[in-house]
Amino acid sequence: MAIRRQSVVLGVLLAPVTLFLGFFFLLPLLIIALYSFLSPGLYGGVEWTFYHWNYGRIFGWADGINEIFEPIYLQILWRSLSFAALTVVLTLILCYPVAFWVSRLSERWRLVFMFLITLPFFSSLIVRLYAWLLILKPTGLFNTALLSLGVISEPLEILYTPTAVVLGMVYVMVPFMFLPLYSAVDNLDRAQVEASLDLGANRVQTFLKVILPQTLPGIMGGAVIVFIPSVGNFVVPDVLGGAKGLMIGNLVEQQFLSARNWPFGSALSMIIMAVVLTVLLISVTRARKAGGHA
Amino acid sequence: MAALLEISAARREFVTPEGGRLAALDGVDLTVGANEFVTLLGPSGCGKTTLLRAISGFEVLDNGTMRLDGMDLTALPPFRRPVNTVFQSYALFGHMTVARNVGYALEVAGVGKASRDAQVAEALEKVGLAGMGGRRPGQLSGGQRQRVALARAIIAKPRLLLLDEPLSALDRNLRQQMQLELKTLQHSLGIAFIFVTHDQEEALTMSDRIVVMRAGRIEQIGSPRDIYRHPKNRFVAEFIGETNLFPVTVDHVAGNIALGRTADGVELQLPATGRSVGEQVTAILRPADFTLGTAGIPGQVTREVYLGSDLYIFVQPKAGGPEIRVIARDGAGAAEGAAVHLAHDPTSVHVLEAA
């Protein structure tokens, strides 16, 4: 009786979020999955006939009449994955030492720093990216400063290059890497670090054998949280990237809004989805394995 | 005994949150012999942990020198000192097995796997954890973790083992068992132990010598018996064991015995050696120094505390003054409210020169 009552209460509590996600997340996802196997309508929308060329265009089979295989899609997918991976690596390098530094600050300064790291969330992403546009453009702050210092004689072409896209993504993703990393570093048992030094391990050995494994959950968490939105990101390349900075997210956007090829856009979306799920699955199984040990 | 560790004029200051300076070590001199069991004893904040951390290298001395086997330790980082520590929290590596924890010192020193495995098995055997190498620290009880920490710290055969209140997290029975085991282990290993504790009973049980510390200074160094029977001052007397302190004036001296009287009129017999009439001194008597009888200080039992083997009673002297704590070996005649006489052997009284 008690158990039954408990499950009723649980059901009532979980119903709103389940309904919300079911209606606004799962249902649209299923529609996209379905669309990706339909043929495109002439002026947008879909024709209700089974059609696998959407995937063929991307992965290498095509009828050669309506749909042509273009390696550019795989290239863009590859670029998206490598940009996202690069973003993960760079944010990690930036945040890891800072996390140690912050965890050693006094309570008051730690709060100040946590406020600063979350400060960007208080303003619009687009506005902040346009600020980067002003900084990076040939007559912008960065180039003007370098020119006036005599470091360079001509403005550097950074804007509308892959560099600008990665730079922008690193900027956007830093807080997402920092927070899980900080929590892991803050939970690091200082006594274990001392024990390692005491037992004769030098600083490098201590880092590799104790500090790194102990903070690995934070690194993995941060990496997943940064990688997933980075792969599908379209705002940053839209504002800062040119043709060479185009990512799969932009491709999806173009297919839905400009080319009006909804099924092809859906197929591209499903590929992003597959990548994300794979990454999540790997990280969850790894975390479970690590958790089983502890 | 050959000196293994020599510390002289060690000084370490900290800046307090209020901006003041606090000397955690204020001119500490200490020599530890090879294979000696030395306990640093004192209330929290006395500097005992700072001294231990200075030896292991986690605190840098502002002043003073520290030599181990004649080698200057002062500039050496912790990982270059032939000294290992058993940490208060054990500080076991949670992501490693027990065996890898224990073999860590050998692993980082580049000892081959076969030799390492053999030594790990031997160390685990020594602490009574044979066959537990495959477990994780999280799967062990507090006592077992303690043993892993111990095995890990002795595997590299340090010249000196530092133990930072290692037994404080264990329950009483286990603590007493571990005290004896540690002592046995220290003998069989033949290495010196420096043991930090605030538990005076633990210090008395285990040590060859006890170093009593207060406010960054050493108050007294001596054998447990020495410290207990002949404390140098009130602080040591009160910190080590239950004590009755009597500020007395010497009334007269007759033969081997001097008579001292407190301001309230309680009369005590003291050893006459060095006493002169009219002198003000403090007489120290342990609760076990009194016997209940028909002669001696008259008083009334106000409270009794049953301790199992002994009965602890508080006696209010008839003359007045603070209650006297007494261990009554047999409970006879020691009921609450009973009138008693407290007799004592004059030779067992320890006298402090200062009143």
- A81-130 pLDDT, tens digit per residue, is 999 999 999 999 999 999 999 999 999 999 999 999 999 889 999 999 99
A293·B156 Cβ contact <8 A: no
Q: Is B11 helix (H, G, I), strand (E, B) or coil?
A: strand
Nearest to B95 among A197, A203, A213 (CB): A213
The verdict on A188 touching B (C-beta cutoff 8 Å) is no
Question: Mean pLDDT across chain B, nearest whole number?
Answer: 91
Question: Mean pLDDT across chain A, nearest whole number?
Answer: 90
Cite the residue boundaries of each domain of chain A with CATH code 1.10.3720.10: 72-293
**Which homologous superfamily does the CATH classification assign to the domain defined by A72-293?**
MetI-like (1.10.3720.10)
Q: State how far residue A209 is from chain B, nearest Cα, in angstroms.
A: 9
CB B261 within 8 A of CB B267: yes
Q: Which residue has the tokens 């030799």?
A: B115
- Domains annotated for chain B, with CATH where assigned, are 3-239 (3.40.50.300), 244-352 (2.40.50.140)
- Each as own residue / partner, the long-range contacts of residues A54-62 (CB below 8 Å, 24 or more positions apart, any chain) are A54/A263, A54/A264, A54/A266, A54/A267, A55/A267, A57/A264, A57/A267, A58/A267, A58/A268, A58/A271
355 residues of chain B, pLDDT tens digit each: 568 999 999 999 998 888 888 889 999 999 999 999 999 999 988 999 999 999 999 999 999 999 999 899 988 999 999 999 999 999 999 999 999 999 999 999 999 999 999 999 999 999 999 999 999 999 999 889 999 999 999 999 999 999 999 988 888 888 888 899 999 999 999 899 999 998 888 999 899 999 999 999 999 999 999 999 999 999 999 898 888 999 999 988 888 889 999 999 899 999 988 888 889 999 999 998 998 888 889 999 999 888 777 788 999 999 888 999 998 876 666 788 888 899 999 888 999 986 5
Rounded mean pLDDT, A130-155? 90
- Least Cα distance to A267 among A56, A69, A84 occurs for A56
- B102-138 pLDDT, tens digit per residue, is 999 999 999 999 999 999 999 999 999 999 999 999 9
Q: What amino acid is encoded at B193 in this protein?
A: F
B105·A189 Cβ contact <8 A: no
ipTM score: 0.85
Nearest to A200 among B108, B136, B138 (CB): B108
Say how many C-beta atoms besides its own lie within 10 A of residue B30's C-beta: 20
- CA distances, B99 to each of A109, B23, B73 (Å): 41, 40, 30
Size of interface A-B (CB pairs under 8 A): 76
- A152-196 pLDDT, tens digit per residue, is 888 888 889 999 999 999 999 999 999 999 999 999 999 999 999
Gap between the Cα atoms of B274 and B258, Å rounded? 10
The verdict on A63 touching B (C-beta cutoff 8 Å) is no
Write the DSSP string, B235-252. HHHHHSS--EEEEEEEEE
In percent, the amount of chain A with pLDDT more than 70 equals: 97
Angle (CA) A11 A17 A23, round 5°: 115
CB A235 within 8 A of CB A245: no
Gap between the Cα atoms of A173 and A91, Å rounded? 7
Q: Tell me, what's the pLDDT at A293?
A: 45
